Amino acid sequence: MSQEVRQEFYDRLSPYSMTPLWEVLSGLVPPEPRPKAVPYLWKYADVRPLLLESGALLTAEEAERRVLVLENPSYPGETRTTASLYAGIQLILPGEVAPAHRHTPSALRFLLEGEQGFTAVGGERTIMRAGDFIITPAWAWHDHGNEGDGPVVWLDGLDIPMLGFYESVFMEGHNDQRQGIARPEGDSLARFGEGLMPIDGDEAHRYGQNSPIFNYPYERTREALVTAAKGEDPDPHLATTLRYSNPVDGGWAMPTMSTWMTRIKGGQETTPIRSTDSMVMAVAEGEGSVTIGDATFSFTPKDVVAVPGWQWRSIQASSDCFLFFFSDRVVHEKLGFFREERQAV
């Protein structure tokens, strides 16, 4: 049958809001993933002056959240860092408070700079120190503040693009600027982070599938990685990597975003690996370079990198590196389509 006859048929489908699958099937279900996002590096040396400048333009209360979004060049105007992940850099100046609110997206914080910043989640407050990984579960009240003398800066990670697909992103403001504090600082870590659990299991599920620990201190994570590296040779593709886990079931710490920390010794280079999940990398310590597909970026502490899915990636460490990652892997695993490939050593 001629193309003209087929096209005439297609044209008659349009008024009925129908289209022929066979004309788009190869693009709709390709032989392998085709990520739209591109690899990208945000240098903290570039971000920080602009972030501080924003602090002179408006207060944290005026902005509700004073954040510079790390927007992937492939998604202009869409506030996406990868197809499924949002990342931004948030600033709280001395004496400021980011007002209490809650929202359906889950959020994580990775502190980049500052000593006396705090966040309160669900009635418990914690001081945030450089390298700490902090969870804000979906629909949990939270506010932030700075009781120090210098700026406090952290990386925000949220699953907003995922919830946006389901048209389920919304929030609610608190009646007060700060929520009430009902538990002492360190309560969740003491109850759930010492290899112990409350005998009443219901308390462990206060935030659904999220870990009941909401601050994983960097000091402990770093020590664990250094000690673990003494026990066995690093994995050629992953170096020494430990994931943040939920003590209740041993799974990922968050239901929609996987998180882990990698240590690569100076002078080492990982063998290329690729996987279907997209991820964001933040540099806690060290210098080196990361190769993603055809792009190579040199990094220093506090830099942030977007890593699209299904791109060959490898890391070269000039000095000892400690690298924080978050990705959408946990969703891929739950839905059964996570795939990974490793180049031969």
In order along its 345 residues, the chain shows pLDDT tens digits of: 788 999 999 999 999 999 999 999 988 999 999 999 999 999 999 999 999 999 999 988 888 899 999 999 999 999 999 999 999 999 999 999 999 999 999 999 999 999 889 999 988 999 999 999 999 999 999 999 999 999 999 999 999 999 999 999 999 988 777 778 878 888 888 888 888 888 876 776 777 889 999 999 999 999 999 999 998 899 999 999 999 999 999 999 999 999 999 999 999 999 999 999 999 999 999 999 999 999 999 999 999 999 999 999 999 999 999 999 999 999 999 999 999 999 998
pLDDT of residue 199: 80
**Structural domain harbouring 248:** 40-342
pLDDT of residue 209: 87
Local structure of 117: helix, strand or coil: strand
How many helices (H) and strands (E) the chain has is answered by: 8, 22
DSSP β-bridge partners for residue 183:
124
- 136 in Cβ contact with 163 (< 8 Å): no
Instruction: Tell me how many degrees the CA angle 44-48-51 measures, rounded to the nearest 5.
Output: 135
Does residue 187 fall inside a structural domain? yes
Cα gap 142→231, rounded to integer Å: 39
Distance of CA 291 to the CA centre of its chain: 19
Non-local CB neighbours of 234 within 8 Å, separated by 6+ positions: 240, 264, 265, 268
Cα gap 230→32, rounded to integer Å: 38
The predicted model scores a pTM of 0.94
Local structure of 62: helix, strand or coil: helix
Cα gap 33→238, rounded to integer Å: 22
Of 108, 68, 109, 91, give the one whose Cα is nearest residue 150: 91
Does residue 34 fall inside a structural domain? no
Domain count, the chain: 1
Does residue 288 fall inside a structural domain? yes
Q: What is the β-pairing status of strands 67-69 and 86-92?
A: antiparallel
Does residue 280 fall inside a structural domain? yes
Does residue 309 fall inside a structural domain? yes
Stated length of the chain: 345
Does residue 27 fall inside a structural domain? no
pLDDT of residue 185: 84
Tokens 């000690």 label which residue?
227
Local structure of 198: helix, strand or coil: coil
DSSP 122-167: TTEEEEE-TT-EEEE-TT--EEEEE-SSS-EEEEEEE-HHHHHHTT
- 343 in Cβ contact with 271 (< 8 Å): yes
Query: Rg for the chain (alpha carbons), in Å?
Result: 22
What CATH number should be reported for the domain holding residue 236? 2.60.120.10
Phi then psi for 8, rounded to 5 degrees? -60, -35
Local structure of 259: helix, strand or coil: strand
pLDDT of residue 180: 80
**Quick one: which H or E segment has residue 98?**
strand 97-103
Does residue 30 fall inside a structural domain? no
Cα gap 150→166, rounded to integer Å: 39
Could you tell me the two tokens for 68? 């510079």
**Quick one: which H or E segment has residue 99?**
strand 97-103
Could you tell me the two tokens for 193? 């982070």
